[in-house]
Every structure is written in C-alpha cells, then in structure tokens.
C-alpha cells in the first residue's frame, strides 16, 4: 500500500501523487495587505451539463519519465507556443526524494522525454523537508521559466518557493527563500500552504493555493489567493476565496487547479476525499461560484483504483484538459477532458 491511513488522512498536507538568485522574503504586513480586484471582463459562468471524460490509456508513467519509480504526478504542465511542457514529480517514497524530468507533447496524449536534460533532484534542494513537489509553473514576460514548488512535511507548515531557468531545458536555479509562508495565528492558512496553481489574471499573476488551519489530518482546508506583478513578490489576500460548503466536500477543500477560459476562470478542486473533484467559476478571480458536484468521482476513473492525487488543468481547443495521477501501490497519469463552455 502506498501510504498508511494516517498519512492519507494527513492528506490535505500529503503530496504525491501533490533559478535566479533568491529574492528576499516579503514581510508579514505585505503578505496580508488588501489586494485590489483584478481587471477582468465579467461574464456569466457557462452551464455545465457534462462530466469530465477520461481516456482509457495512460499518458505518462515512470518508465516513460526515465525514473522507474513507483509514483508519478503531473507536477507543472505549461503550454508555450503550442507545445505542452510537463515537469512531473517522480518518487518511490513520500515524503522523500523527488525527481522532476521534462517531457513535451503537442496533443496531450503522446509525450516525449527530454533526454538531454538531467531531472531536478530534491536531494540538492535546501528547503526540501524532507522532499519537494513541483505544483505549477509559468513563463514571465521576459521569457523566464518559473516552477513553484512546495516543501513537504508530515507536520511542519509547508512553504512555497521557486526554481527558474532561461528555457524549459534549464539550467534550473532553485531558490531557497520562500515566496509564501503560513499565515498568522488564527488565519485560515496558519497550518501551511499547499498545491499552488498560477495563472494570469488581468495585468498580474494570481496564485491560488490550499491553506490549512492546523497541520495534520484533522485540518480544515480553504482556498486562498496571492497576487504578483513580477512572479517573484507575492501579496496574499487575508481572507479565503473558497471554503467548504457542500456535503461531498467533507468540510474541507484542497488542491485547486485553475485555468483561464473565454468566459472567465475555472477551478477544479478536491474535497477531503481526494477521489472527489468539483468545479467552480469566477469572473474576477476573487468571487467564486460552485457548480453542483462533484464533477469527477472514483467511478469515472479509467481503472479500478482507490486513489487519485495530484493534477494539472489547462484550457485548449475549446475544452478543459485535466491530467490526474491515479493509483495506489503505483500511480500513473491519465487525461480527462470536458467541452467548455
């Protein structure tokens, strides 16, 4: 079995299958200062009458990634100039050593390992605690490639940091100064921040993340957001933007994945049980409307598996494209789609 029950319940904080010189850490006051509403044209969310549909075939496994580990999740998937770049997390123990190779695809189905590039390795990352998970990535206006990773621990609050490179082939410089840390005592994210998802909203970057009130399996998760003009310095909103309210969520929400579409923003997220995933929409990046769900359940999986873990979400060719880690004793990455709007 992949993890013990206690670790799975710790699962709001468990990961899996989840640069340039270091910048100085933002102050607590800056992190909690009010943030103006992003500039985005409001439009009503589309009606969702369908569910995500999974393809039957595995799209990425550890053999393809060149690691032959037990587990793999999609990590960061970045679309750039018509090509998809995946930086998956490959590992055999969690928390533990993590390797992050580079794969490319044009259709999301057939992926090719970049054998010229040596995978990033958590053993060389000072913040790894005792491991790391790449969760999201983006390309800045000056062409810098950015991966956001989280430190992973079963107890201590997690923090977020960056790795940067001039191209997807690297070389990668891993920053060891956190860009976002746990909130103050009493805040919704005092127990740690996890599973960030970065997109462009208006003239800034928006980073959605799951914040937990206390470390551990009994934690309550809510979705927070932080904004940045340059992708380096982030200012978080003090209040969460999405909290648990539906029965299927189990009083906690986790692992947000956000995509920008012609009708606004779409978030795919989990409840406390990670095999259940729901949808929410927003026109301004701050106010979110839930679509009755869940939209993905275990019965939708292409294989009989009791676990699903980390994921990546894109919008391309008039559909949402979702890459999900599924499995238990071992995991692999599958692809699901939903026509949108």
Q: What is the pLDDT of residue 237?
A: 95
Among residues 65, 22, 88, the alpha carbon closest in space to that of 233 is found at 22
Q: What is the dihedral of CA 333, 302, 315, 15, to 10 degrees?
A: -40
CATH topology of domain 5-18+42-339: Tachylectin-2; Chain A (2.115.10)
Distance from C-alpha of 35 to C-alpha of 97, rounded to nearest angstrom:
37
Per DSSP, the residues of 235-251 read EE-SS-SB---SGGGTT
pLDDT of residue 47: 76
Q: Which of 257, 205, 208 is closest to 231 using CA atoms?
A: 205
* Each residue's pLDDT expressed in tens, for the chain with a length of 341 residues: 344 333 333 343 334 443 333 333 333 333 344 445 555 555 566 778 889 999 999 999 999 999 999 999 999 999 999 999 999 999 999 999 999 999 999 999 999 999 999 999 999 999 998 899 999 999 999 999 999 999 998 778 999 999 999 999 999 999 999 999 999 999 999 999 999 999 999 999 999 999 999 876 678 999 999 999 999 999 999 999 999 999 999 999 999 999 999 999 999 999 999 999 999 999 999 999 999 989 999 999 999 999 999 999 999 999 999 999 999 999 999 999 999 98
First to last CA, the chain: 39
In this predicted structure, what is the pLDDT of residue 154? 79
Q: How far, in Å, CA of 113 to CA of 68, rounded?
A: 13
Burial 172-189, CB ≥16 within 10 A → b, else e:
bebbebbbbbbbeeebbb
d(CA 324, CA 333): 5
Q: How far apart are CA 259 and CA 280, in angstroms?
A: 11
H/E element, 8 = helix 5-9
In a 3-state reduction of DSSP, which class is residue 9? helix
> What pLDDT sits at residue 49?
83
Q: 203 with 39: CB under 8 angstroms?
A: yes
245: tokens are 């309210």
For 330, half-sphere exposure in the C-beta direction (CA atoms, 13 angstrom radius) is 9
- Helix or strand holding residue 255 (H, E): strand 254-261
pLDDT at site 38 = 55
Structure tokens at 137: 């990535």
What is the DSSP secondary structure assignment for residue 157, as one 8-state letter? P
How many other C-beta atoms can be found within 10 angstroms of the C-beta atom of residue 56?
A: 7
| Tokens of residue 284, six digits | 């301004």
């Amino acid at each position: 079995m992949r993890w013990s029950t206690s670790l799975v319940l710790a699962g709001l904080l468990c990961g899996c299958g989840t640069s340039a010189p270091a910048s100085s850490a933002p102050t607590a006051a800056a992190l909690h200062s009010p943030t103006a509403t992003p500039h985005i044209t409001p439009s009503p969310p589309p009606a969702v009458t369908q569910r995500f549909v999974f393809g039957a075939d595995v799209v990425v496994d550890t053999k393809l990634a060149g690691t032959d580990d037990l587990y793999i999740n999609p990590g960061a998937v970045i679309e750039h100039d018509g090509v998809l770049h995946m930086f998956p997390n490959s590992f055999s123990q969690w928390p533990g050593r993590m390797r992050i190779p580079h794969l490319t695809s044009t259709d999301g189905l057939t992926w090719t390992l970049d054998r010229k590039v040596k995978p990033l390795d958590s053993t060389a990352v000072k913040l790894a605690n005792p491991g790391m998970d790449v969760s999201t990535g983006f390309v800045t206006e000056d062409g810098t490639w950015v991966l956001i990773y989280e430190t992973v621990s079963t107890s201590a609050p997690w923090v977020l940091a960056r790795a940067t490179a001039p191209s997807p082939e690297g070389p990668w410089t891993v920053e060891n100064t956190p860009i976002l840390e746990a909130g103050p005592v009493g805040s919704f994210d005092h127990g740690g921040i996890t599973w960030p998802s970065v997109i462009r909203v208006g003239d800034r970057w928006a980073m959605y993340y799951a914040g937990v009130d206390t470390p551990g399996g009994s934690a309550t998760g809510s979705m927070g957001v932080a904004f940045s003009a340059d992708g380096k310095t982030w200012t978080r909103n003090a209040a969460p933007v999405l909290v648990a309210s539906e029965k299927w969520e189990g009083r906690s929400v986790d692992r947000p994945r956000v995509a920008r579409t012609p009708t606004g923003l779409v978030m795919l997220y989990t409840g406390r049980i990670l095999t259940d995933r729901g949808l929410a929409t927003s026109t301004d990046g701050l106010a979110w409307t839930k679509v009755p769900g869940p939209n993905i359940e275990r019965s939708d999986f292409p294989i009989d598996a009791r676990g699903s873990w980390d994921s990546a979400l894109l919008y391309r060719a008039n559909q949402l494209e979702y890459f999900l880690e599924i499995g238990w004793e071992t995991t692999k990455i599958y692809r699901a789609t939903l026509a949108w709007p």
